[in-house]
A and B are shown apart, each in its own frame.
Chain A
Amino acid sequence: EAGVAQSPRYKIIEKRQSVAFWCNPISGHATLYWYQQILGQGPKLLIQFQNNGVVDDSQLPKDRFSAERLKGVDSTLKIQPAKLEDSAVYLCASREHTGGQSYNEQFFGPGTRLTVL
């Protein structure tokens, strides 16, 4: 079974430029997450999708970050304009959706390392 795919793996941009990241989750996984991992810290959730709807975007800096999952499969995360403090690894994860109290494993992609100069 293919894992979570992300591209690009690395990106270097100047501040105030824009950048976009792409994620393809595991087939059949309805839930998709974007995390930001700053060097020396644990991942922090930016946004969670259930199919093509947003479940939680409370920690997404909406003045510069946006994300979409139009067909409920692939997702893109965009930053415009980028700031120096956006330098981080952006991780995508996906999970099967089940009801009730079950708690399914999140599977993570390899991440995109963004450097803002």
Chain B
Amino acid sequence: AQSVTQPDIHITVSEGASLELRCNYSYGATPYLFWYVQSPGQGLQLLLKYFSGDTLVQGIKGFEAEFKRSQSSFNLRKPSVHWSDAAEYFCAVGALAQKLVFGQGTRLTINP
């Protein structure tokens, strides 16, 4: 069965610092991978997705993620975070019948 693990429950970084959020997945076939962001009281917004091709994918708000098949990972990165990036981030794998399986999320706090 497919699953997603986000090892870091909570991460704090300073504004302007770089960011990497970790995601590991388990899926028997070629995965469809996603990163979503959820601000307080809001629904989930898609940051980026990987289906095939180039393993480095660019998303909105300056985020990027790299798919590494050998490590079963799809880590999210941003070179310089802004205070508005404070939110909950979810990694997800697309399973059969286009069902999403989510990780438990990583809460990002930004120090001024």
- Chain A interface residues (CB < 8 Å from chain B): 3-4, 31, 33, 40-45, 48, 55-56, 91, 93, 95, 103-106, 108-111
Contacts and interface: CB of A to CB of B under 8 A. Distances in A.
Contact of B41 (A40, A48, A110): A110
Interface in B55-74: none
Q: Which of B41, B44, B102 has the most CB of A within 10 A?
A: B44
Interface of B: 4, 9, 32, 36, 41-46, 49, 51, 90, 92, 94, 97-105
Given A44-B102, A45-B100, A95-B98, 4 more contacts: A40-B104, A41-B104, A106-B46, A106-B100
Contact of B49 (A42, A44, A55, A105): A105
B97 A43 contact: no
A44 B94 CA distance: 13
B102 A43 contact: yes
Contact of B98 (A4, A31, A108): A31
Q: Is the interface of A mostly helix, strand, loop or mixed?
A: loop
A41 B43 contact: no
11 contacts: A31-B98, A42-B4, A42-B105, A45-B99, A45-B100, A48-B99, A56-B97, A56-B99, A91-B44, A109-B43, A110-B41
Nearest to B103: A42
A50 to B, nearest CB: 9
Nearest to A3: B43
Contacts of B49: 103, 105
Contacts of A108: 36, 43-45
B105 A41 contact: yes
B104 A42 contact: yes
Contacts of B100: 43, 45, 106
Contacts of B98: 31, 95, 103-104, 106
